[in-house]
Protein backbone atom coordinates (compact mmCIF):
# COMPACT_ATOMS: atom_id res chain seq x y z
CA UNK A 1 0.00 0.00 0.00
CA UNK A 2 1.21 3.47 -0.88
CA UNK A 3 2.80 5.69 1.78
CA UNK A 4 2.27 9.46 1.72
CA UNK A 5 3.96 12.03 3.94
CA UNK A 6 2.23 14.70 6.01
CA UNK A 7 3.62 18.16 5.34
CA UNK A 8 1.18 20.29 7.37
CA UNK A 9 -1.15 19.63 10.30
CA UNK A 10 -4.34 21.54 9.55
CA UNK A 11 -6.26 20.77 12.73
CA UNK A 12 -7.07 18.22 15.39
CA UNK A 13 -10.59 16.84 15.18
CA UNK A 14 -11.66 16.48 18.79
CA UNK A 15 -13.65 13.32 19.48
CA UNK A 16 -14.16 10.97 22.39
CA UNK A 17 -12.23 8.33 20.45
CA UNK A 18 -9.05 8.81 18.44
CA UNK A 19 -9.17 12.63 18.00
CA UNK A 20 -7.62 12.29 14.53
CA UNK A 21 -5.51 14.89 12.78
CA UNK A 22 -6.48 16.53 9.52
CA UNK A 23 -3.27 16.84 7.52
CA UNK A 24 -2.08 17.97 4.11
CA UNK A 25 0.14 15.37 2.43
CA UNK A 26 2.75 15.46 -0.28
CA UNK A 27 0.46 13.81 -2.83
CA UNK A 28 -1.72 16.93 -2.86
CA UNK A 29 -4.55 15.38 -0.84
CA UNK A 30 -5.86 15.97 2.67
CA UNK A 31 -6.21 12.98 5.00
CA UNK A 32 -7.91 12.30 8.31
CA UNK A 33 -5.16 10.52 10.23
CA UNK A 34 -5.37 8.14 13.18
CA UNK A 35 -2.28 7.11 15.08
CA UNK A 36 -1.78 3.87 16.94
CA UNK A 37 -3.22 3.91 20.44
CA UNK A 38 -0.81 1.28 21.72
CA UNK A 39 2.78 0.43 21.06
CA UNK A 40 2.23 -3.29 21.18
CA UNK A 41 -0.66 -5.10 19.52
CA UNK A 42 -3.11 -2.58 18.05
CA UNK A 43 -5.73 -4.41 16.05
CA UNK A 44 -7.87 -1.26 15.82
CA UNK A 45 -5.43 0.09 13.25
CA UNK A 46 -5.41 -3.17 11.32
CA UNK A 47 -9.21 -3.18 11.39
CA UNK A 48 -9.33 0.26 9.77
CA UNK A 49 -7.25 -0.90 6.82
CA UNK A 50 -8.86 -4.32 6.66
CA UNK A 51 -12.46 -3.07 6.71
CA UNK A 52 -11.61 -0.44 4.10
CA UNK A 53 -10.50 -3.30 1.84
CA UNK A 54 -13.52 -5.45 2.72
CA UNK A 55 -15.99 -2.61 2.10
CA UNK A 56 -14.61 -2.17 -1.40
CA UNK A 57 -15.09 -5.85 -2.18
CA UNK A 58 -18.69 -5.50 -1.00
CA UNK A 59 -19.19 -2.50 -3.30
CA UNK A 60 -19.70 -0.24 -0.28
CA UNK A 61 -18.36 3.25 -0.82
CA UNK A 62 -15.66 4.27 1.65
CA UNK A 63 -12.85 6.86 1.45
CA UNK A 64 -9.51 5.97 -0.14
CA UNK A 65 -6.99 5.06 2.52
CA UNK A 66 -3.19 5.10 2.66
CA UNK A 67 -0.40 4.81 5.14
CA UNK A 68 0.54 8.30 6.30
CA UNK A 69 3.91 9.17 7.74
CA UNK A 70 3.61 12.07 10.17
CA UNK A 71 7.03 13.55 11.06
CA UNK A 72 7.31 13.87 14.84
CA UNK A 73 8.64 17.41 14.31
CA UNK A 74 5.25 18.50 12.98
CA UNK A 75 3.59 17.33 16.16
CA UNK A 76 6.33 18.65 18.43
CA UNK A 77 6.01 22.17 17.08
CA UNK A 78 2.21 22.36 17.01
CA UNK A 79 1.14 23.92 20.29
CA UNK A 80 -2.56 23.56 19.44
CA UNK A 81 -2.62 19.79 19.79
CA UNK A 82 -4.04 18.10 22.86
CA UNK A 83 -2.03 15.79 25.09
CA UNK A 84 -3.35 12.87 23.09
CA UNK A 85 -0.77 13.68 20.48
CA UNK A 86 2.89 13.51 21.44
CA UNK A 87 5.85 13.43 19.11
CA UNK A 88 6.87 9.95 20.31
CA UNK A 89 3.52 8.55 19.12
CA UNK A 90 4.55 9.16 15.52
CA UNK A 91 8.21 8.15 15.54
CA UNK A 92 8.13 4.45 14.69
CA UNK A 93 4.79 3.66 13.08
CA UNK A 94 2.86 4.78 10.05
CA UNK A 95 -0.68 6.06 10.60
CA UNK A 96 -4.01 5.19 9.03
CA UNK A 97 -5.02 7.93 6.63
CA UNK A 98 -8.55 8.28 5.25
CA UNK A 99 -8.70 10.68 2.32
CA UNK A 100 -10.78 13.76 3.11
CA UNK A 101 -13.89 14.06 0.94
CA UNK A 102 -14.81 17.75 0.59
CA UNK A 103 -18.05 16.83 -1.20
CA UNK A 104 -19.31 14.68 1.68
CA UNK A 105 -20.90 15.53 5.02
CA UNK A 106 -22.06 13.49 8.00
CA UNK A 107 -25.42 11.76 7.78
CA UNK A 108 -27.69 12.83 10.62
CA UNK A 109 -30.42 10.69 12.12
CA UNK A 110 -33.00 13.19 10.87
CA UNK A 111 -31.81 12.47 7.30
CA UNK A 112 -33.18 8.94 7.72
CA UNK A 113 -36.36 9.77 9.57
CA UNK A 114 -38.77 8.64 6.88
CA UNK A 115 -38.38 6.57 3.75
CA UNK A 116 -40.24 8.60 1.16
CA UNK A 117 -38.24 11.75 1.80
CA UNK A 118 -34.95 9.85 2.01
CA UNK A 119 -35.57 8.10 -1.29
CA UNK A 120 -35.87 11.47 -2.98
CA UNK A 121 -32.35 12.52 -2.00
CA UNK A 122 -30.36 9.24 -2.01
CA UNK A 123 -29.45 7.26 -5.11
CA UNK A 124 -29.91 3.85 -3.50
CA UNK A 125 -31.41 3.40 -0.06
CA UNK A 126 -30.66 -0.33 -0.11
CA UNK A 127 -27.02 0.62 0.51
CA UNK A 128 -28.08 1.11 4.15
CA UNK A 129 -29.05 -2.55 4.34
CA UNK A 130 -25.78 -3.64 2.76
CA UNK A 131 -23.79 -1.57 5.25
CA UNK A 132 -25.86 -2.96 8.13
CA UNK A 133 -25.25 -6.51 6.91
CA UNK A 134 -21.54 -5.79 6.55
CA UNK A 135 -21.45 -4.53 10.14
CA UNK A 136 -23.00 -7.79 11.36
CA UNK A 137 -20.30 -9.71 9.49
CA UNK A 138 -17.39 -7.73 10.95
CA UNK A 139 -19.12 -7.11 14.31
CA UNK A 140 -18.72 -3.34 14.07
CA UNK A 141 -19.94 -2.05 17.44
CA UNK A 142 -19.46 1.61 16.53
CA UNK A 143 -22.08 2.19 13.81
CA UNK A 144 -25.52 2.41 15.38
CA UNK A 145 -28.48 4.79 15.59
CA UNK A 146 -26.69 6.98 18.14
CA UNK A 147 -23.45 7.12 16.12
CA UNK A 148 -24.09 6.50 12.43
CA UNK A 149 -20.51 6.78 11.12
CA UNK A 150 -21.95 7.46 7.68
CA UNK A 151 -21.40 10.32 5.28
CA UNK A 152 -23.42 11.41 2.28
CA UNK A 153 -21.53 12.38 -0.87
CA UNK A 154 -23.21 14.60 -3.43
CA UNK A 155 -23.17 13.06 -6.91
CA UNK A 156 -23.52 14.63 -10.40
CA UNK A 157 -27.28 13.93 -10.42
CA UNK A 158 -27.59 16.06 -7.24
CA UNK A 159 -28.49 13.01 -5.16
CA UNK A 160 -26.38 11.48 -2.43
CA UNK A 161 -24.48 8.22 -2.07
CA UNK A 162 -23.80 6.73 1.35
CA UNK A 163 -20.15 6.52 2.46
CA UNK A 164 -19.16 4.21 5.33
CA UNK A 165 -16.41 5.49 7.63
CA UNK A 166 -14.63 4.58 10.86
CA UNK A 167 -14.06 0.86 11.41
CA UNK A 168 -11.58 0.93 14.27
CA UNK A 169 -14.10 -0.75 16.55
CA UNK A 170 -14.89 -3.64 14.24
CA UNK A 171 -14.50 -7.21 15.52
CA UNK A 172 -15.92 -6.08 18.86
CA UNK A 173 -12.52 -4.37 19.48
CA UNK A 174 -11.10 -7.79 20.35
CA UNK A 175 -7.68 -9.06 19.49
CA UNK A 176 -8.18 -11.40 16.55
CA UNK A 177 -7.16 -14.54 18.42
CA UNK A 178 -10.07 -13.85 20.81
CA UNK A 179 -12.74 -13.93 18.11
CA UNK A 180 -15.40 -16.62 18.42
CA UNK A 181 -18.13 -17.52 15.94
CA UNK A 182 -20.89 -16.62 18.41
CA UNK A 183 -19.94 -12.92 18.53
CA UNK A 184 -22.82 -10.71 17.48
CA UNK A 185 -24.15 -7.18 17.71
CA UNK A 186 -26.91 -6.44 20.17
CA UNK A 187 -30.16 -5.34 18.56
CA UNK A 188 -29.72 -1.59 19.11
CA UNK A 189 -26.02 -1.60 18.14
CA UNK A 190 -26.89 -1.77 14.46
CA UNK A 191 -28.30 0.65 11.89
CA UNK A 192 -30.67 -2.21 11.00
CA UNK A 193 -32.51 -1.16 14.18
CA UNK A 194 -33.67 2.00 12.40
CA UNK A 195 -37.29 2.07 11.24
CA UNK A 196 -36.11 3.21 7.82
CA UNK A 197 -34.05 0.01 7.40
CA UNK A 198 -37.09 -2.16 8.05
CA UNK A 199 -39.14 -0.12 5.58
CA UNK A 200 -36.46 -0.45 2.88
CA UNK A 201 -36.27 -4.20 3.42
CA UNK A 202 -39.98 -4.56 2.62
CA UNK A 203 -39.26 -3.33 -0.91
CA UNK A 204 -36.46 -5.76 -1.84
CA UNK A 205 -36.13 -9.44 -2.66
CA UNK A 206 -34.34 -11.32 0.14
CA UNK A 207 -32.90 -13.75 -2.41
CA UNK A 208 -31.16 -10.87 -4.16
CA UNK A 209 -29.41 -9.63 -1.05
CA UNK A 210 -28.48 -13.18 -0.03
CA UNK A 211 -26.81 -13.68 -3.42
CA UNK A 212 -25.04 -10.35 -2.90
CA UNK A 213 -23.91 -11.40 0.59
CA UNK A 214 -22.24 -14.65 -0.47
CA UNK A 215 -20.75 -13.13 -3.62
CA UNK A 216 -19.26 -10.28 -1.57
CA UNK A 217 -17.65 -12.73 0.84
CA UNK A 218 -16.18 -14.65 -2.09
CA UNK A 219 -14.78 -11.39 -3.50
CA UNK A 220 -13.14 -10.62 -0.17
CA UNK A 221 -11.59 -14.06 0.21
CA UNK A 222 -10.13 -14.06 -3.28
CA UNK A 223 -7.62 -11.27 -2.70
CA UNK A 224 -7.35 -10.91 1.05
CA UNK A 225 -4.00 -12.67 1.49
CA UNK A 226 -2.37 -10.32 -0.99
CA UNK A 227 -3.95 -7.37 0.80
CA UNK A 228 -2.70 -8.48 4.21
CA UNK A 229 0.78 -9.06 2.79
CA UNK A 230 0.67 -5.47 1.55
CA UNK A 231 0.04 -3.98 5.00
CA UNK A 232 2.02 -6.45 7.13
CA UNK A 233 5.22 -4.38 7.15
CA UNK A 234 3.57 -1.87 9.48
CA UNK A 235 1.96 -4.49 11.69
CA UNK A 236 4.65 -6.94 12.68
CA UNK A 237 3.16 -7.36 16.16
CA UNK A 238 -0.27 -8.15 14.70
CA UNK A 239 0.83 -10.39 11.83
CA UNK A 240 0.56 -13.55 13.93
CA UNK A 241 -3.16 -12.85 14.44
CA UNK A 242 -4.07 -12.53 10.75
CA UNK A 243 -4.95 -16.21 10.40
CA UNK A 244 -7.50 -15.87 13.20
CA UNK A 245 -9.41 -13.07 11.53
CA UNK A 246 -9.45 -15.00 8.26
CA UNK A 247 -10.88 -18.04 10.01
CA UNK A 248 -13.52 -15.82 11.62
CA UNK A 249 -14.57 -14.03 8.43
CA UNK A 250 -14.75 -17.03 6.16
CA UNK A 251 -16.45 -19.55 8.43
CA UNK A 252 -19.41 -20.72 6.32
CA UNK A 253 -21.45 -21.86 9.31
CA UNK A 254 -20.99 -18.53 11.03
CA UNK A 255 -21.83 -16.64 7.85
CA UNK A 256 -25.06 -18.58 7.43
CA UNK A 257 -25.98 -17.58 10.96
CA UNK A 258 -25.11 -13.95 10.19
CA UNK A 259 -27.48 -13.84 7.25
CA UNK A 260 -30.27 -15.50 9.23
CA UNK A 261 -29.77 -12.89 11.95
CA UNK A 262 -29.96 -10.14 9.33
CA UNK A 263 -33.36 -11.39 8.15
CA UNK A 264 -34.65 -11.73 11.71
CA UNK A 265 -33.71 -8.14 12.56
CA UNK A 266 -35.71 -6.79 9.61
CA UNK A 267 -38.92 -8.78 10.03
Segment 210-236 shows an average pLDDT of 95
Residue 236, pLDDT score: 86
| Residue pLDDT, tens place only, 168-214 | 999 999 999 999 999 999 999 999 999 999 999 988 888 999 999 99
Give me the sheet containing 104-106, strands edge to edge.
104-106, 150-154, 160-164
40 pLDDT more than 60: no
Sign for the CA dihedral angle at 221, 223, 229, 234 comes to: negative
Q: Sorting pLDDT into bands at 50, 70 and 90, what band is 118?
A: low
Q: Quick one: 175 exposed, middle or buried, by C-beta within 10 A (0-12, 13-18, 19+)? A: middle
CA distance 164 to 151: 7
Segment 59-70 shows an average pLDDT of 97
Residue 38, pLDDT score: 67
Residue 264, pLDDT score: 95
Q: Sorting pLDDT into bands at 50, 70 and 90, what band is 18?
A: confident
37 pLDDT more than 90: no
Nearest to 67 by CA among 216, 235, 224, 197: 235
Residues 223-227: contacts with CB under 8 Å, at least 24 apart? 223/57, 224/53, 224/249, 227/50, 227/53
**Is residue 190 within 8 Å of residue 144, measured between CB atoms?**
yes
The pTM score is 0.94
The residue extents of the domains of the chain are: 3-99, 104-266
Q: Sorting pLDDT into bands at 50, 70 and 90, what band is 85?
A: confident
115 pLDDT more than 70: no
Encode the chain in three state secondary structure.
CCEEEEEEEEEECCCCCCCCEEEEECCCCEEEEECCCCCCCCHHHHHHHHHHHHHHHHCCCCCCEEEEECCHHHHHCCCCCCCCCCHHHHCCCCEEEEECCCCEEECCHHHHCCHHHHHCCECCCHHHHHHHHHHHHHCCCCCECCECCEEEEECCCCCEEEEECCCCCCHHHCCHHHCCCCCCCCHHHCHHHCHHHHHHHCCCCHHHHHHHHHHHHHHHHHHHHHHHHHHHHHCCCCHHHHHHHHHHHCCHHHHHHHHHHHHHHHC
67 pLDDT more than 60: yes
Amino acid sequence: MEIVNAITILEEIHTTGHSPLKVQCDDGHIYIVKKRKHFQTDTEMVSEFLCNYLCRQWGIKTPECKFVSVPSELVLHDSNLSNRHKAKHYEHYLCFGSQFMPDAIDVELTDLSYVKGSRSIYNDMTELLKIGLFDLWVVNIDRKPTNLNLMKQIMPNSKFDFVAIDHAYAFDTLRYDQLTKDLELSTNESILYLDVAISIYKGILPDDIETYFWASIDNCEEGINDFLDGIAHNFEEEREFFSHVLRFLFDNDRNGTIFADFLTRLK
